[in-house]
């Protein structure tokens, strides 16, 4: 992989990650007339829950569902410059023009009962391919492997930035998820706090470790592999399974067999193996309803400065689609009380996904 750094017209950083070191040089210049975007992000802490909430009103003007011919994530062409100046690319990362968090956030702080501060952090866009019509699961294993290295690179880089406490790479796909740009892409958030989900998981991990002397994810992984009914893929370094207490109608966890805190800690062999396993899992998911499944793929990794001995890196992939044409909406119990009620049993989902793995292939993909 080759890494090339550049700047966009408004000063934002752009990074090209090429599959091969022999790829053409990345020298294109952004010719657009852009002024630096104002960022008024701020965070406020809810005094009733202790959780931080981000406010980013400037995001109301962000690009919303443009036609394919006006996609800002496609390569630039003559007379139609985009966010990516080059005429083609493998993987590209750039600073989001409409970020929820940024190093230059300038929002005023509040006082009194509700603590507030500028939303200092970082938000990046990760474009997985220059092909507008392809999906992540249709990428060759070699490209997925490049993306893994990109996630690790950005986790390490954002972890060094002032104010960043947690790094979160993720992908949203599909209209039902609320995606506003259909080009295959993901994002990386650098939060200025530890997220509520991660804080709770670390709290549970600490209590389990104190009581049993072992990491809770290690015992969950061993139990799933031993029982086997919810396991989808069990490879040399990774196991993919439907969790026994799944919240979502479609949910799969990909867990490394070795406890590591984050993506940079993965070995080359573990990264190679993940690329193979993940592609198989995405094929199962797209085969479930014989359509591209809308999903969120969320990397859970250790915060920057705490809990690194307790965290166990894993990828959670989930979908709101409970049948081929019915969406699981978060209603009163889920939205009001955070108590999930799942319409699908994990065992049934695992059986249906496994049955699709033997005859489902992803069109347009190559090894």
Q: Percentage of the chain with pLDDT > 70?
A: 95
CA angle (317, 319, 325) in 5-degree steps: 155
Cα–Cα distances (Å) from 365 to 101, 142, 173, 266, 293, in that order, read 35, 11, 18, 25, 17
Helix (H) or strand (E) holding 295: strand 295-300
| Residue 363: band (very low, low, confident or very high) from pLDDT cuts 50, 70, 90 | very low
Residue 291 lies in a domain: yes
Tell me: do 293 and 225 sit in the same domain.
yes
Is 210 part of a structural domain of the chain?
A: yes
User: Is 300 annotated as a binding-site member?
Assistant: no
Domain finish residue from 194, 213, 244 = 194
Closest CA to 129 of 112, 146, 116: 146
Identify the band that residue 204 occupies on the pLDDT scale cut at 50, 70 and 90.
very high
User: Domain for residue 139, yes or no?
Assistant: yes
Rounded Cα gap, residues 291 and 268, in angstroms: 32
**In this structure, what CATH number is given to the domain that contains residue 111?**
3.30.428.10
Angle between helices 216-227 and 196-212 in degrees, nearest 10:
80
Q: Say yes or no: 204 and 153 in one domain.
A: no
Same domain, 217 and 189: no
The pLDDT score that the predictor gives to residue 361 is 39
pLDDT for 359 equals 40
Look at 66-70, 199-203, 243-247, 351-355 and tell me which has the smallest mean pLDDT.
66-70
Q: In the chain, what percentage of residues exceed pLDDT 90?
A: 87
Rounded to whole angstroms, the Cα distance separating 136 from 150 reads: 14
Of the listed 58, 104, 185, 237, which one is catalytic?
185
- Candidate from 25-39, 100-114, 240-254 with smallest mean pLDDT: 100-114
Q: How far apart are CA 65 and CA 180, in angstroms?
A: 5
Residue range 322-336: average pLDDT? 94
214 shares a domain with 179: no
**5 Cβ contact list (under 8 Å, min separation 6):** 13, 14, 15, 16
Number of domains the chain contains: 2
Residues 148 and 99 occupy one common structural domain: yes
- What would the two tokens of residue 256 be? 């490394």
Whether 179 and 202 map to the same domain: the answer is no
pLDDT, tens digit, 9 for 90 and up, residues 123-154: 999 999 999 999 999 999 999 999 999 999 99
Q: Are residues 181 and 237 in the same domain?
A: no
263, 153: one domain: no
Instruction: Read off the pTM.
Output: 0.95
Q: What is the pLDDT of residues 153-193, one digit of tens each?
A: 999 999 999 999 999 999 999 999 999 899 999 999 999 99
The answer to whether residue 332 scores a pLDDT higher than 70 is yes
Q: Is the pLDDT of residue 356 over 90?
A: no
Instruction: Determine the average pLDDT of the residues in 274-287.
Output: 98
Domain residues for the domain of 88 are 2-194
Lowest mean pLDDT among 27-36, 298-307, 319-328, 351-360: 351-360
Confidence of residue 364 (pLDDT cuts 50, 70, 90): very low
Instruction: Establish whether 212 is an annotated binding residue.
Output: no
- 113-122, 275-284, 309-318: segment of lowest average pLDDT: 113-122
Place 61 in a pLDDT band, splitting at 50, 70 and 90. Answer: low
Q: Is residue 219 part of a domain?
A: yes
pLDDT on residue 94: 98
pLDDT of residue 358: 47
Three-class DSSP category at 70: helix
The reply, when asked if residue 127 is annotated as ligand binding, is no
Domain identity same for 143 and 205: no
Asked whether residue 366 is assigned to any structural domain, the reply reads no
- Per DSSP, helices labelled H in the chain are 141-159, 196-212, 216-227, 268-288, 337, 346-357
Residues 126 and 250 in one domain: no
Whether 300 sits among the annotated catalytic residues: the reply is: no
- Tell whether 365 is covered by a domain: no
Q: In whole angstroms, what is the distance from residue 321 CA to residue 124 CA?
A: 27
| CA 107 from centre of chain | 26
Residue ending a domain, among 194, 209, 229, is 194
Is 254 within a domain?
yes
Predicted local distance difference test score (pLDDT) of residue 57: 81
**Same domain as 135, residue 225:** no
Assess if residue 74 is contained within a domain.
yes
Residue 237 reports pLDDT greater than 80: yes
Closest CA to 263 of 126, 365, 138, 358: 126
Last residue of a domain, which of 137, 161, 194? 194
- pLDDT score recorded for residue 37: 77
- Please, which pLDDT band fits residue 40 given cuts at 50, 70 and 90? confident
170 and 203 belong to one structural domain: no
């Amino acid at each position: 992989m080759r890494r090339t750094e550049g700047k966009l017209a408004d000063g934002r950083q752009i990074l090209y990650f090429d599959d091969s070191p022999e790829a053409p040089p990345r020298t294109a210049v952004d010719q657009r007339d852009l002024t630096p975007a104002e960022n008024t992000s701020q965070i406020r802490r809810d005094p009733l829950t202790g959780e931080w909430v981000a406010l980013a009103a400037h995001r109301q003007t962000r690009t919303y569902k443009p036609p394919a011919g006006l996609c800002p994530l496609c390569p630039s062409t003559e007379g139609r410059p985009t966010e990516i100046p080059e005429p083609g690319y493998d993987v590209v990362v750039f600073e989001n023009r409409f970020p929820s968090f940024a190093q230059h956030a300038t929002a005023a702080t509040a006082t009194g009962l509700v603590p507030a501060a500028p939303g200092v952090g970082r938000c990046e866009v990760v474009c997985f391919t220059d092909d507008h019509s392809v999906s992540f699961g249709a990428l060759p294993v070699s490209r997925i492997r490049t993306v893994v290295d990109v996630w690790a690179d950005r986790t390490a880089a954002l972890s060094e930035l002032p104010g960043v406490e947690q790094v979160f790479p993720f992908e949203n796909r599909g209209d039902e998820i609320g995606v506003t740009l259909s080009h295959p892409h993901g994002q990386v958030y650098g939060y200025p706090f530890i997220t509520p989900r991660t804080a709770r998981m670390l709290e549970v991990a600490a209590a389990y470790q104190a009581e049993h002397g072992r990491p809770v994810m290690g015992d969950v992984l061993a139990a799933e592999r031993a029982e086997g009914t919810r396991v989808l893929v069990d490879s040399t370094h990774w196991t993919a399974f439907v969790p026994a207490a799944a919240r979502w109608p479609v949910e799969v966890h990909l867990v490394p067999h070795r406890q590591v805190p984050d993506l940079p800690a993965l070995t080359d062999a573990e990264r190679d193996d993940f690329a193979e396993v993940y592609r198989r899992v995405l094929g199962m998911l797209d085969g479930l309803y014989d359509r591209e499944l809308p999903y969120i793929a969320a990397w859970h990794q250790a915060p920057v400065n705490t809990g690194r001995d307790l965290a166990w890196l894993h990828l959670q992939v989930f979908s709101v689609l409970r049948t081929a044409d019915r969406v699981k909406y978060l209603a009163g119990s889920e939205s009001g009380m955070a108590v999930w009620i799942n319409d699908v049993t994990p065992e049934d989902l695992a059986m249906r996904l496994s049955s699709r793995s033997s005859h489902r292939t992803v069109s347009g993909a190559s090894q």
